[in-house]
């Protein structure tokens, strides 16, 4: 949410150096996307999944037809990757999730749970009032479609993925995802704490899940937080490479 694809260039280069084909894709509304959220231009999770994810994955399969395809998602991108895989299980060979969690407020401990609930619902009120979400002015995320914030805030409130203008039962489909899943989370990450990551993973109870929660003193943790793991990806890509080789 609000992070451009070019931020992940060091990650893509490190993946490439380790023998992977890696493609970066901007979420709708960000940087190279031709769409800009406004009072007249709206979109939600469903649009991102059916249009952007579908187009990008189809192109990857066309260019690399013999290579297994893993979706590597960060934060909102990871949530959307899980939703896409639940609806299109035949299109994906596995999921890699970094600092990715459900935003259900009960995934946070103590007062932070209510801060999360209040923050997500306030963002929804702002998006409704303005017609889009001016994240850069508010100080969180980027400029987002009103319905993206609606879908995000509703999941924070209810714990369920029920998307606007989309009748698909994602909750049931997530429970049937039968894919290898690697989840990486980081001690001290207040935007994707352990409990919130586990809440998302718990929805995919048929998947082969490995959740690595890297403590600050873990030698595999290169001082990672919610964002900078993508800037210093050498050790992380080693973990990813070892995990993919197992599958």
What is the per-residue pLDDT across 120-165, written as a single tens digit (0 to 9) for each? 999 999 999 999 999 989 888 899 999 999 999 999 999 999 999 9
Strand 180-186 with 208-214, pairing: parallel
Q: Which two tokens stand for residue 79?
A: 């949530």
pLDDT for res 45: 98
Whether 247 has a pLDDT exceeding 90, the answer reads no
DSSP 117: H
Q: Which two tokens stand for residue 91?
A: 């299109």
The neighbouring-strand residues paired with 70 are 94
pLDDT for res 99: 98
pLDDT, tens digit, 9 for 90 and up, residues 83-108: 999 999 999 999 999 999 999 999 99
Is 92 within 8 Å of 204 (Cβ atoms)?
no
pLDDT for res 136: 87
CATH number at residue 77: 3.40.50.1820
The neighbouring-strand residues paired with 145 are 132
Task: Look up tokens 């990806």; give the residue.
Answer: 233
Whether 16 has a pLDDT exceeding 90, the answer reads yes
Q: Which domain holds residue 83?
A: 5-179+187-246
Whether 174 has a pLDDT exceeding 90, the answer reads yes
Q: What is the mean pLDDT of the chain?
A: 97
pLDDT, tens digit, 9 for 90 and up, residues 195-239: 999 999 999 999 999 999 999 999 999 999 999 999 999 999 999
Q: pTM (2 decimals)?
A: 0.97
Domains held by the chain: number: 1
Q: Is 232 exposed, middle or buried (0-12, 13-18, 19+ CB in 10 A)?
A: middle
């Amino acid at each position: 949410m609000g992070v451009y694809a070019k931020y992940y260039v060091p990650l893509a280069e490190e993946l490439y150096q380790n023998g992977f084909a890696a493609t970066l894709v901007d979420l709708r509304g960000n940087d190279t996307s031709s769409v800009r959220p406004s009072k007249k231009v709206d979109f939600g999770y469903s649009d991102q999944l059916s249009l952007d994810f579908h187009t990008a994955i189809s192109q990857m399969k066309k260019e690399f037809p013999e290579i297994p395809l893993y979706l590597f998602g960060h934060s909102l991108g990871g949530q959307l990757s899980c939703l896409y895989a639940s609806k299109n299980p035949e299109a994906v060979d596995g999921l890699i999730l970094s600092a990715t969690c459900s935003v259900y407020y009960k995934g946070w401990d103590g007062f932070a749970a209510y801060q999360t609930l209040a923050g997500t619902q306030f963002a929804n009120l702002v998006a409704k009032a303005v017609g889009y979400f001016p994240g850069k002015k508010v100080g969180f995320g980027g400029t987002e479609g009103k319905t993206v914030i609606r879908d995000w805030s509703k999941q924070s409130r209810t714990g369920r993925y029920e998307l606007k203008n989309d009748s698909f039962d994602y909750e049931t489909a997530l429970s049937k995802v039968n894919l290898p899943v690697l989840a990486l989370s980081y001690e001290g990450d207040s935007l994707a704490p352990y409990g919130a990551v586990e809440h998302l993973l718990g929805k995919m109870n048929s998947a082969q899940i490995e959740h690595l929660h890297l403590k600050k003193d873990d030698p595999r943790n290169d001082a990672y937080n919610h964002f900078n793991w993508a800037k210093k990806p050498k050790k992380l890509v080693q973990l990813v490479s070892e995990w993919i080789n197992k599958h």
